[in-house]
C-alpha cells in the first residue's frame, strides 16, 4: 500500500528542512545534497524520497544525473495553510481595534 505522506509531517524533520533550504537556491544531485550532511547516504536518500513523494521536490533528469529542485507551488501551499488562520486572528483583532477606538471616543 502506498503511504500517503503529509506535507506537514515532511517538513517536521530538521534534516528535510535543511535539504529544502539547500535546493532552494539551485537544483542539486542526490550526491551533492548528501555531501552536506553527516548522515549516511541511504538516510539522505530516504529523506529525498519522502520530499519527492509529497511533491516538495521535483526530479529532473539531466543526462545521466537526476537533479532535485524545489517545487515552489507546493511550498506556497504550506504558506497558504497558515493564511486562513492568520486571517481569522486578523479579523478578530481588527474588530477589537475598531471597538476600542469608539470606546475611547465615548469616554
Q: How far apart are CA 23 and CA 69, in angstroms?
A: 6
Q: How far apart are CA 34 and CA 16, in angstroms?
A: 11
Nearest-approach distance from CB 57 to another protein, in angstroms: 15
| Inter-CA distances, 53 with 6, 9, 47, 74, 84, Å | 9, 12, 10, 12, 25
Q: Which stretch binds another protein (CB under 8 A): 36-44, 51-59, 63-71, 95-103?
A: 95-103
Indicate whether 17 belongs to the interface with another protein (CB under 8 A): yes
Nearest-approach distance from CB 8 to another protein, in angstroms: 4
Indicate whether 106 belongs to the interface with another protein (CB under 8 A): no
Binding residues (CB under 8 A) for another protein: these are 8, 11-14, 17, 80-82, 84-90, 92-97, 99-101, 103-104
Amino acid at each position: 500500500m502506498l503511504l500517503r505522506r503529509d506535507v506537514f509531517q515532511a517538513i517536521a524533520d530538521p534534516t528535510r528542512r535543511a535539504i529544502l533550504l539547500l535546493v532552494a537556491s539551485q537544483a542539486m544531485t542526490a550526491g551533492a545534497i548528501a555531501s552536506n550532511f553527516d548522515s549516511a547516504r541511504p538516510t539522505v536518500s530516504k529523506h529525498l524520497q519522502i520530499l519527492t513523494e509529497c511533491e516538495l521536490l521535483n526530479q529532473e533528469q539531466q543526462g545521466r544525473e537526476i537533479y532535485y529542485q524545489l517545487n515552489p507551488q507546493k511550498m506556497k501551499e504550506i504558506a497558504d495553510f497558515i493564511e486562513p488562520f492568520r486571517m481569522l486572528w486578523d479579523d478578530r483583532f481588527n474588530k477589537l481595534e475598531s471597538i476600542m477606538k469608539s470606546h475611547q471616543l465615548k469616554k
